[in-house]
Each structure stands twice: as structure tokens, then as C-alpha cells.
Amino acid sequence: MTAASDMKYFASADGDLAYREAGAGDLVVLLHSGFVDHRVFDAVMPALASTHRVVAADVRGHGASANATRPFRWTDDVAALLRHLDAGPAVLVGVSMGGLIVSDTLLEHPELVRAAVVGGASTGEFQDSDPWHRTIQAETARALAAGDVEGWLKAFLNYVPGPHRTLDEVDPDIPRRLSEMALNTLSKHTPGEQDRLVRVTDTWSRLPGIEVPVLTLNGALDTADVLAAAQRLADTVRHGRSVVIEGTAHYPNMEKPEEFTAVVADFLRSL
């Protein structure tokens, strides 16, 4: 677990944003999935930091970073972080929500991105129509609206096994860690709180203009829609490729950290 003293902060245009840093060399920035924080990369960061300067950020509204008090875009926060670090262009690595932020940053701030790894996501205009995923979305939304934290957490943790397994088939330490992070982030917010996030639009039509290498990296047990959209992303950009890790779903960085890290490290060596 990251100690508070290990965190660094920079003053954004709307509050302080937090990150953890390790290693030296070319910059790699890790962006976590929704409702959690940078600690989803705890098992990945040390190996990557042996050859690179690695920064794991807490996205606005998550972990130790400030909530939004006015309209914002996560991609602009990432751009502000990269400019603060003064070490770009960087390789961005994101999982789920973090992968979406990576895609947005490729489109909105291409001069700051050297290469990208997009996991469990494609673009913000992707909609997973899988009935299993739709059910989870409905359950989490209902629970949040009702202030039912226990019900929300139960629904949220279904993302761990994915649609093809049960939670009992997953190492119990993973949902335990995710629960700790998610409850911490949830405690920063209130039911009915205004959503100030401004979505990036016109994404798929702009992807063919992406010039840098892009790797999509997903768990084979994720939904078919997620995997199809990842392949579409890899096929649409000019220098894209796709890798699938067997035996894991939406959190390959936690379930299969050695394999996840090996794929990312191989990608970094190819740049």
C-alpha cells in the first residue's frame, strides 16, 4: 500500500492532483480504472520502474486527487500533469476508464504522447451492449442513486471476474483491494452530485490520424463487445496491434501482473 508520504501533488487549475513516481528514464504514465486509484498498478510499477521513469496518477475525483468544482476533461488533467513533469512526450498506459483517458489524450493532446497502451477500453463513444454489462450498469446506478454503498460495491465487483466466471473463481485479495480503493473514492462524493465531466466526442472518425504506436491489451474473459472494440481501435490507428491475456477479464494488471508487465515492457522496447 502506498503511504501518504510517497505521494506527490501538483496544483491544477482546479485543485491538487496526486501521483506516485518511481524509476528513471523515459516517462511512462499509468492511468487507473474507474472508482479506484493508482494502487491497481502496485504489482506492475516496480518492474517498469527498473527501466523507465514511471508515474501512476490518481485521476481527478479518485484517490488523493481533488474533486471537480467546475467542468473539466480528464485528458486535460493528464496534459497538465505531463507539462508539470516536463519529461514528455510520454508513453501512456491505461486500464478501463484509464484506457479511455489514454484514447482521449491521443486525440486531444497528440504532441504529448509518444505511444499508448489501451486496456479494457476503446474510446469514450463505445457502448458495451452486452446484457451482463448493462445489468451491472443498471445495478450500480440504482445503488448510487439510493446511497446503497453495499449494493453498489457488490455490483461493482462483478467487473473482476467478467461475464464468464464468478467472483469465487478469483483470488480474493483482488476484490478486497479493489473494495478498499473504491470505498475510499466513493467517500469523496455524495449521492446526486453533479457530474462535471465533459466528454470527448467525434473519436472514432479521428483515430486514423493517430501517428504513434498503439497497443490494445485486454483480458480474454472480458465481454465480447470490449474485445471487439479493442480490435477495432487497433485496426483503425495507423500503427496498432492487439494482445489478449488469457485467464483474466477487466483487470489483467491485477490478476496477471507478470504477464501484463511483460507485454508492456516488450512494447516499450519496440519503441
pLDDT at 127: 85
Look at residue 5 in the predicted model and tell me its pLDDT: 62
Q: What is the pLDDT along the chain (271 residues), one digit of tens a residue?
A: 555 568 999 999 999 999 999 999 999 999 999 999 999 999 999 999 999 999 999 999 999 999 999 999 999 999 999 999 999 799 999 999 999 999 999 999 999 999 999 999 999 888 888 899 999 999 999 998 888 999 999 999 999 999 999 999 999 999 999 999 999 999 999 888 899 999 999 999 999 999 999 999 999 999 999 999 999 999 999 999 999 999 999 999 999 999 999 999 999 999 9
Taking each helix axis as running N to C, give the angle between helix 131-146 and helix 149-156, from 0 to 180 degrees, rounded to the nearest 10.
160
State phi, psi for 174 to the nearest 5 degrees.
Answer: -70, -55
pLDDT of residue 111: 97
Question: What beta strand segments (E) does the chain contain?
Answer: 7-12, 15-22, 27-31, 53-57, 90-95, 113-119, 214-219, 240-245
Q: What is the dihedral of CA 31, 68, 152, 255, to 10 degrees?
A: 10
Helices (H), 187-256: 224-236, 252-255
Q: What interhelical angle do 97-108 and 74-85 show, nearest 10?
A: 70
The cell numbers describing 253, all together, are: 494488471
**What count of residues does the chain have?**
271
Q: Minimal CA–CA distance to 117: which of 213, 219, 41, 248?
A: 213
**pTM, two decimal places:** 0.96
In this predicted structure, what is the pLDDT of residue 128? 85
Q: What does DSSP say about strands 53-57 and 27-31: parallel, antiparallel, or unpaired?
A: parallel
Q: Supply the pLDDT for residue 80.
A: 97
Kindly list the structural domains of the chain, giving each domain's residue range(s) and its CATH number in brackets, ordered by start.
Answer: 4-128+199-269 (3.40.50.1820), 131-186 (no CATH)
**Tell me, what's the pLDDT at 2?**
59
